[in-house]
């Protein structure tokens, strides 16, 4: 069973994906995808009742909280971005845990969607105040440099 799932993951997403058994009906999914700082995405495949799910077990939001207040993820633009991503990819958010139910044994398609969702959610880190401030200042300098020339008086 695990080899069939792993093969589906590799065919749909990437050959560098593999599974490591961590218990009965529980596997860690290793992918080449990572957060901006190089940490790997935390992805678990496990059986839940009569179906399989992919979950990050809260790892994505925990990782984001290293650089920003977790309350900032629950309001404003960040919350809207996260809500849109969750809706777009059919992911469920359970008190910080991101979960995707695998339909009709489409393991590869589910992993592809789940990885995309996790990566898009981590994009909210680009909205940190310091990053926005430095980008704004670069853009302002560039704009002023194009529009204002001291010799044009």
Q: Which long-range contacts (CB under 8 A, 24 or more apart) does 88-92 make?
A: 88/117, 89/113, 89/114, 89/116, 89/117, 89/120, 91/117
Mean pLDDT over 116-145 rounds to 73
Confidence of residue 127 (pLDDT cuts 50, 70, 90): low
Tens-place pLDDT, residues 1-51: 778 877 777 776 767 788 899 999 999 999 988 888 889 999 999 999 999
Q: What is the DSSP string of 18-38?
A: EEEEEETTEEEEE-S-B-TTS
Cα 127 from Cα 6, distance rounded (Å): 35
State mean pLDDT over 111-122. 94
**If you classify domain 2-127 with CATH, what class do you get?**
alpha beta
Q: What is the pLDDT of residue 45?
A: 97
For 62-77, the pLDDT digits (tens) are 988 887 777 777 777 8
What Cα–Cα distance (Å) separates residue 54 from each residue in 10, 64, 91, 104?
A: 15, 19, 9, 14
74-88 pLDDT, tens digit per residue, is 777 888 888 999 999
Residue pair 39/63 in contact by the 8 Å Cβ criterion: yes
Residue with tokens 């599974």: 19
Domain map of the chain by residue range? Answer: 2-127
Residue 94: per-residue pLDDT: 94
| Predicted model pTM | 0.76
């Amino acid at each position: 069973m695990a080899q069939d799932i792993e093969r589906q993951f590799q065919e749909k997403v990437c050959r560098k994906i593999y599974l490591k058994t961590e218990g009965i009906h529980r596997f860690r999914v290793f992918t080449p995808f990572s957060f901006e700082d190089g940490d790997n995405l935390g992805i678990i495949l496990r059986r839940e009742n009569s179906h399989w799910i992919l979950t990050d077990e809260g790892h994505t939001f925990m990782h984001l909280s290293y650089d920003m207040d977790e309350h900032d993820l629950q309001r404003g633009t960040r919350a809207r971005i996260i809500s849109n991503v969750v809706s777009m990819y059919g992911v469920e958010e359970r008190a910080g845990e991101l979960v995707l139910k695998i339909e009709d044994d489409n393991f590869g398609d589910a992993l592809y969607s789940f990885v995309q969702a996790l990566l898009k959610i981590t994009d909210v880190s680009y909205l940190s105040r310091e990053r926005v401030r430095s980008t704004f200042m670069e853009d302002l300098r560039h704009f002023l440099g194009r529009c204002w020339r001291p010799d044009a008086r």
